Structure 1
């Protein structure tokens, strides 16, 4: 059947949640369309195999040359296949700060305050710690503590405490400030993607089409009525929707699909020979992403950190057989095992720096292999001021879009990141970490602004949290309204991180799932 009540384009974090929830109860026929595959394989399911996930599960986008990064081209990995980026990410479960959502509400996004979204987060969640005022139990998304963190990750938390920084055992609880181990989206020692949470239980009650690239949205008489998809060797297929079309292709994919459909900035579309269906300048605008700097240190310790050595290889081989037999041990690592949230100025309404500590040396997103053992730490600017764009490179849906995050083009972001890197190095100097005798792979005079800025611009890049390109707002210029309906066409919704009016203070996977859940709520109410 090629006609359904609801079509969801994109089986990522938000799309999985939206499709799964909309299919409940059997009231609506739902079709989930995904460009990638099922991601039902050992590489995706084994947490410690994350660095080896390549090819079919990753779009592997790149940015245009970045002026703020000395003209370098940045790397933008995004998940492809069911589960989307929840199938390739570090599995860190962070919702953002209470202030983020209250700020959305203050910007005019009614119904998106912290008090509005907290019940949805709790409903999503099956937290191994059990239910409490901040957490849920029994939901589809499994969240748990790490049981086999590296000793080096524990040393990072101790080092922060030695610098009089607070400990925090729950970054999603009463306070976000402080340092500790992250909770992760895993279950039974395996990665628990949004697709495993929402799509797999719903396989018998909805149509799932994988390997299908969405080329355009069909619009008739001001209403979205379906999509055109390409499968295999150019075979095209039209899928119709009686009630709603939901675009959930992420902060890059959603504006790309809209623009391919003639929905977006008119002058840009006309230059590419695309007929304008609806002129909307905000489609593909307001791109925000967490700019991130990674420090990397080499040590002689081979037991407390991962690394490339004979003993490290033997250790991982033993871990492989343990994980195959029991789903336990160090291959349950999320790599970004520890971290924290820190305010770089007293005036910050919420932490403006996040740290991800990795008990391994990390270079160029892990794409450059480094011999030996050591540790790395990310410092990212949580609420960047820089704004970028996503535009079409071609009217061909197979061509990657032009991604321009405009990293560090606003000097306020550099000032914040500079403070964050300095605080990170202060933590490194504490006894628990300095005892390892770490050797900085990129030494710098940390107190010299010019030297530090030069190093940051030569090494900084994304920490994988793009949002904002289909922003939500109360104004007519916004792409979607606070119920995630497209402003200007009927029957069209956007459901993913692209709708965020401001980037949340933390990882974006959990908020994206929450957005998918809310989209299902809104559509159910609208179609009654």
Structure 2
């Protein structure tokens, strides 16, 4: 075991929140900070090209390639759970869509007793992080590390979708992160000049040369060292070598909703009976560690297009493919800048609902499932996602070996509300696609297809084809109830000197893509840590 010295703060995980923490905690120069990342440097060129996320979906060099346990409500299928294993974490391989969630999400966190986490409390941290291309206003910030940009250009298919949504009674919305989320419009992205800006690019790169920040890659953390109910350091492996470092201040876990509960459990912090069964000595019996996993389920609808205007057409024609490459190389425009949602919508399945419960990602290409080859026909996709699932599952270690992936069980479609919402989301999409604005483009519905018409058939389609939209959260959730893992200042209950700052602390998953909210959590956590250190 090689000693790497003592630090004020040790951060485990260089993902969406971990890079934020590394930047903010080392910013003053007064604190010595160690950042540990299990993956390597973000050198793969596909990381930095927006559409490159499709190339990274099954790449083990940057992706943990997790799978869920067989899902009983999804016909026993295992569902892919990609997570970033690289500097920037999942922000280096995600679809770049910038969505914060709804005001009601954060006010709901506050209503559960988490003081300081209401919408008005977290908005300043969203604004602090943001460099909004449209400038600052009451909802947005300018000059922050994370660029939030408009799509580089409109697209005729997206325009038709937005117009068709309006014809179906859905208002146009040019800012899903402003006063209201409901409506249809273009997504903004975490990009700049046609290139992805991950948390590593936004936060870590500007801080890397600070003498008080040490970044270690290929560092697989095996446990948090806990003495007398206090976190005093961490141990990790780098290849065959083993290392340890001490923390005079705090250890902060930022390894995400899968990695963080795994590390806690390997360290003896978690549900005692389960740890004993897996051969881990119990340090602190904390039942909520790994429990309450939430994720968004998406169901994809695929359409054949009448006009050859899709990315499928661009990439199956050699001359057009050359043109796509040249346009990106010289102008940073075109299909290679497309995010995982080009346009989209937030819809209510019932007008009596207070806020949207369905998100649509509209994309000008089609595949059978993410990471597969594009279809051989002109195709486009609209996926629907239930925003506020009731279903909760768990992440639990299977063995004491940190190399072994934990059991991931999102427990999709476990409630009638979730099943109904997913079916109603498909029906809403059909209403929009029937609009006159889509008529010049829409040839036919390929999946699920017109033969699947009633609710039972549509639910069966959800079960047969539904998949993750990659927003696992809540596995070390905030709360002062028996299932809470961290308090409102993100301190692990019962262990001093140990915090969690990533998507696992969410009491409930936000209504939308999770990256923006996790960056906010990193900003707020850093501010609280520094405040507590000075008090």
> TM-score range, shorter-chain basis?
over 0.9
Q: Which residue of 1 aligns with 2:228?
A: 221
Matches of 1:422 and 1:153, distance apart in 2: 19
329-338 or 281-290, larger mean C-alpha shift? 329-338
Q: Which residue of 2 aligns with 1:131?
A: 136
Structure 1 residues 486, 313: CA separation in 2 closer, same or farther (over 3 Å shift)?
farther
Structure 1 residues 368, 31: CA separation in 2 closer, same or farther (over 3 Å shift)?
same
Q: CA deviation at 1:18?
A: 1.2
TM-score (norm 2): 0.96
1:259 partnered with 2:262:
no
1:514 partnered with 2:520:
yes
Q: Which residue of 2 aligns with 1:490?
A: 496
SS at match of 1:172: coil
Count of matched residue pairs: 526
373-382 or 430-439, larger mean C-alpha shift? 430-439
Q: Which residue of 2 aligns with 1:211?
A: 218
Equivalences for residues 107-506 of structure 1 within 5 A: 107-205=112-210, 206-232=213-239, 234-302=240-308, 304-307=309-312, 312-442=317-447, 443-445=449-451, 447-506=453-512
1:255-297 per-position Cα deviation (integer Å, ceiling 9, x unaligned): 0110111110111110111100110110000001111100011
Q: CA deviation at 1:311?
A: 5.3
Matches of 1:310 and 1:467, distance apart in 2: 35
TM-score (norm 1): 0.97
Structure 1 residues 448, 476: CA separation in 2 closer, same or farther (over 3 Å shift)?
closer
Structure 1 residues 525, 335: CA separation in 2 closer, same or farther (over 3 Å shift)?
closer
Native 8 Å contact 1:269 1:275 kept in 2: yes
SS at match of 1:406: coil
Q: CA deviation at 1:314?
A: 2.8
Q: CA deviation at 1:369?
A: 4.2
Structure 1 residues 21, 310: CA separation in 2 closer, same or farther (over 3 Å shift)?
closer
1:65-117 per-position Cα deviation (integer Å, ceiling 9, x unaligned): 00110111111111111111111111111000001111110110000010000
Structure 1 residues 2, 300: CA separation in 2 closer, same or farther (over 3 Å shift)?
farther
Q: CA deviation at 1:59?
A: 1.1
The one of 7, 10, 23 equivalent to 2:10 is: 7
Structure 1 residues 243, 310: CA separation in 2 closer, same or farther (over 3 Å shift)?
closer
Structure 1 residues 308, 398: CA separation in 2 closer, same or farther (over 3 Å shift)?
farther
Matches of 1:238 and 1:311, distance apart in 2: 51
Matches of 2:286 and 2:456, distance apart in 1: 41
Matches of 1:88 and 1:315, distance apart in 2: 26
Matches of 2:71 and 2:472, distance apart in 1: 15
432-441 or 125-134, larger mean C-alpha shift? 432-441
Native 8 Å contact 1:306 1:312 kept in 2: no
Report runs of 4+ in structure 1 exceeding 6 Å deviation.
Answer: none
Native 8 Å contact 2:271 2:287 kept in 1: yes
Matches of 1:388 and 1:41, distance apart in 2: 33
Matches of 1:213 and 1:373, distance apart in 2: 44
Matches of 2:173 and 2:393, distance apart in 1: 33
The one of 20, 36, 53 equivalent to 2:23 is: 20
Native 8 Å contact 1:262 1:275 kept in 2: yes
Q: Which residue of 1 aligns with 2:39?
A: 36
1:86 partnered with 2:91:
yes
Matches of 1:430 and 1:181, distance apart in 2: 18
Q: CA deviation at 1:445?
A: 4.3
SS at match of 1:157: helix
Matches of 1:432 and 1:101, distance apart in 2: 36
Matches of 1:191 and 1:422, distance apart in 2: 34
Matches of 1:310 and 1:202, distance apart in 2: 38
Native 8 Å contact 1:308 1:370 kept in 2: no
Matches of 1:462 and 1:400, distance apart in 2: 18
Matches of 2:145 and 2:484, distance apart in 1: 31
Q: CA deviation at 1:343?
A: 1.0
Native 8 Å contact 1:158 1:432 kept in 2: yes
The one of 46, 49, 56 equivalent to 2:49 is: 46
Q: CA deviation at 1:315?
A: 2.1
Q: CA deviation at 1:329?
A: 3.0
Structure 1 residues 101, 335: CA separation in 2 closer, same or farther (over 3 Å shift)?
closer
